[in-house]
Amino acid sequence: FSPASSQPNRVDMSDKTTDSLAQQLANARVGLKPRNTVFTDERGNVHMERITGDPLVDERKTEEKKASQERMKAPWIHMHGRLGEKNWAAPIITKVCNEDARPGYNTCKAHEYNEDPETFSEKIKKLAEIIQKSKRCIAYTGAGISTASGIADYASRDSGRPKLMSPFDAQPTLAHRVLAALHKEGFLKNWIQQNHDGLPQKAGYPQKDLNEIHGSWYDPSNPVVMMSGNLREDLFSWLIEWEKKSDLCLTLGTSLCGMNSDRMALTCSKQNPELGTVIISLQQTQLDEHASLRFFSTCDKVMGALAKEMNLKLPEEKVYIPNIPKDTIVEQDVFLVGYDAKTGKKNGDERFKLDLRVDSKVVIPVGQYKGVQGTVQGKNREGHYKICFYHRLKKGSKIKRPQVRVLGRWWIEAATNGTIDQLPLIPLTISAD
């Protein structure tokens, strides 16, 4: 969704900066070894300074102890949310980085924090309570929910994520599976997804209740929206609908740095003070003061604890397999769907054959690439369809360039079950039933 930022100069307990010559000489004369210490000023800004000490002291243990004692200094409502308690312990500083989390946007510094264990337990109980009270709970997720799967984000400074041959190989995180379970059990009604990775669907979350507002790698009709681009009109209308009627917004893994869709978190907080907006991330955000409940933690840790608290039955960890009615399967990769043959819109009175065999011709019926034609090339390792589309180099140009896009298998499940209003593609030559 955005260009990758440059690698920051992360400061942690093991960082060894260069001393001045005078400092080096002074240290040499007294036989002391320089090391780092971290402190927080009265405004909550985290700093590092150089100190000296006994070279026989175990430096690593000393610094880990100092880090574990250092806590966030901020108004309690910023640390815990308005449904929290003033006497709850402040979050613990785990990583120090004085770079902006999202340079060039409305953002905070990239320091990372974790909850005090006792406070964490109290917050989980409160989270389960407000979810059970909610009637129209939504999820609003950013890149932070997917980092544990191996997909990089732009705000965090941790390179310890799994290595993937391709982002298409990524599998759902624990947080994805818990959200899918919340939906299945009726607690979660809609999901606004900033990411493009298809992990909610791989976890079993239905396409019909997932708004991929910033584009998708698995939907040829919904390409990734660049920072300077425009949101798809129908998806934005869908977002506005849920902005108005949601009573609880679970905000996971997003820096909330000023995207248009961040309105979900802010509006829900203002119009539903009893439930409002829960913010879950390792870093501070500009909207922390508006949170009803604020977690400084990984998405997986919070959602895993929530699943235990609510006794949720999680979907199995397995490769996604679509649930397609047998009477809609004409032959392998050919399906009967009840949609308008010319527009791809839902129409229960008509059915046509959606042919996705190799070399079949298709066309995109909606979105910015409406009318663009493509040819099915085959499938990837997980069985999702690879389609080569031919895009004009620029408007009015006769020259076209090929680009392979992927159609997720969940679109076939949704189409054959009639659960979505619009197909992402239709055959170029229609075969009527």
| Selected residue with higher pLDDT from 133 and 393 | 133
pLDDT at 97: 77
CA 273 to CA 278: how far, in whole Å? 11
CA 113 to CA 101: how far, in whole Å? 13
The full DSSP string for 60-120 is HHHHHHHHHH-B--S-HHHHH-TTS-TTSPPPEEEEB--SBSSTTSS--B--EEE--HHHH
b/e 269-282 (16+ beta carbons within 10 angstroms → b): beebeebbbbbbbb
Confidence check: pLDDT of 61 > 50 = no
CB atoms within 10 A of CB 36: 19
Is 367:376 a contact under the CB 8 Å cutoff? no
Amino acid at 141: T
How distant, in Å, are the alpha carbons of 269, 355, 360 from that of 373? Answer: 43, 14, 11
pLDDT above 70 coverage of the chain, percent: 79
User: 393: which 2 tokens?
Assistant: 């180099």
CB atoms within 10 A of CB 338: 17
pLDDT at 41: 38
| Selected residue with higher pLDDT from 100 and 412 | 412
User: 223: which 2 tokens?
Assistant: 């390409």
| Selected residue with higher pLDDT from 70 and 174 | 174
CA 256 to CA 263: how far, in whole Å? 9
pLDDT at 6: 29
Confidence check: pLDDT of 305 > 80 = yes
Q: What is the mean pLDDT of the chain?
A: 83
Enter the pTM of the model: 0.81
Tens-place pLDDT, residues 235-253: 999 999 999 999 999 999 9
CA 319 to CA 382: how far, in whole Å? 7
Tens-place pLDDT, residues 123-156: 999 999 999 999 999 999 999 999 999 997 654 5
pLDDT at 8: 26
Confidence check: pLDDT of 195 > 60 = yes
Which of left, alpha, beta for 67 (phi over 0: left; psi -120 to 50: alpha)?
Answer: alpha
Tens-place pLDDT, residues 42-52: 334 443 333 33
Is 4:154 a contact under the CB 8 Å cutoff? yes
pLDDT band with cut points at 50, 70 and 90 for residue 68: low
pLDDT band with cut points at 50, 70 and 90 for residue 397: confident
**Quick one: average pLDDT of 220-228?**
90
pLDDT band with cut points at 50, 70 and 90 for residue 16: very low
pLDDT at 69: 65
Is 295:117 a contact under the CB 8 Å cutoff? no
Confidence check: pLDDT of 222 > 80 = yes
**Quick one: average pLDDT of 406-418?**
98
CA 263 to CA 267: how far, in whole Å? 6
Tens-place pLDDT, residues 265-293: 999 999 999 999 999 999 999 999 999 99
